[in-house]
Amino acid sequence: MSQGDQNIDEPVVIEEKGSVRLTVLNRPRQLNVISPEVVLKLAEYLELWEKDNQTKLILIKGAGRAFSAGGDLKVFYHGQESKDSCLEVVYRMYWLCYHIHTYKKTQVSLVNGISMGGGASLMVPMKFSVVTEKTVFATPEASFGFHTDCGFSYIHSHLPGHLGEFLALTGARLNGKELVAIGMATHFVPSGKLMDLEAQLVSLDSGDVDVVRSTIEEFSEKVNIDKDSILNKQSVINECFSKESVKQIIQAFEAEASKEGNEWITPVIKGLKRSSPTGLKIVLRSIREGRKQTLSDCLKKEFRLTVNILRKTISPDMYEGIRALTIDKDNSPKWNPATLDEVDDEKINSVLKPFEDDIELQIPETEENRWGGKYETSGYASVRG
């Protein structure tokens, strides 16, 4: 069965080719942002395929010049006046993240363009993640008052040194070669070879990990990062981003910027100072906690943060950030509180505490509850009504 060209208006296009399942994120004009419909469809098919003996290999790619630019921010903005209107899709997205990390069949992401935020959660955890010279990765959530979500408080906290804090706080971009160098992607393949690789993987009609790996390696190249790569600034990053607070990090970074050869720091500091003070403090706390947490613990924590941010528990910054970025596009957000000193650390503590209304994210503990069963019987059903 093939649903490709017949469903050009579908946000996700599915093609079945023998035992291979090709998933195409299909909103190229919107940079394949992850809408509620995308979340539901991906969850539905991944569950189906994991249980299907005829399915051996899953491929996922994006249409156009993006893999996925992340979550559909306008959905959250327009749903802000309806209490908890977005919680169902948020819950499902975190479930989806968990199952991608723990998926039992071989998955390959083919990433030939933008892969940011939640969109990158469909890339990094895959058994094989193939990137190209056109790949651009970032986690820019702090810049618009959100937090590093979809499992990235776990992923970033396990990067070398304090690179995770740097990426999460600054939203700095990495290219395909850099992603391979730090282990966030498995293979670098020139974009001109990507279609041939896809065709070869389909023709394998196999999900054998060694066979898939050797096939990708036939097309891949060894990576050498550029001398100006941010990965070559690790000593400065470790020195500054190991500081206890966001304020101390910025002060240390400013001190380094005055030294010869550190001109690259100045625009990064400007970006930090434009970001939401509340978002920055939440992100730093989340990444630091992630070092001591399991994947499940990180997802539960991130879910709490997301719900509290949606509810404006301590700040309306996310909605203001989305307004400035995607609605009015004036790029002039008015943060509340406006400075780091005004952000109450006790309030940061409060958004990390377990909920009292029984909507905690329920990570499955048994095989029979791996997919829908636990979701349907969890406390979250009380919120869905």
Confidence (pLDDT) at 83:
56
Sheet with 114-116, strands from edge to edge, namely 66-68, 114-116, 136-138, 174-175
Tens of pLDDT along 29-81? 999 999 999 999 999 999 999 999 999 999 999 999 999 999 999 999 988 87
Token pair, residue 364, equals: 């499955």
Closest CA to 299 of 138, 150, 139, 119: 150
Low-confidence ranges of the chain (pLDDT < 50): 1-6, 368-385
Give the count of beta carbons closer than 10 Å to the beta carbon of residue 110: 25
Confidence (pLDDT) at 358:
67
Domain coordinates in residue numbering, the chain: 5-384
Confidence (pLDDT) at 372:
42
Confidence (pLDDT) at 362:
86
CA–CA dist 65, 71 (Å, integer): 17
From the options 3.40.140.10, 3.90.226.10, 3.30.450.20, 3.40.50.700, give the CATH code of 5-384: 3.90.226.10
Confidence (pLDDT) at 218:
98
Closest CA to 334 of 126, 196, 144, 98: 144
Confidence (pLDDT) at 210:
97
Confidence (pLDDT) at 89:
86
CA–CA dist 28, 203 (Å, integer): 26
Tens of pLDDT along 131-164? 999 999 999 999 999 999 999 999 999 999 999 9
pTM > 0.85: yes or no? yes
The residues carrying an active-site annotation are 71, 118, 141, 149
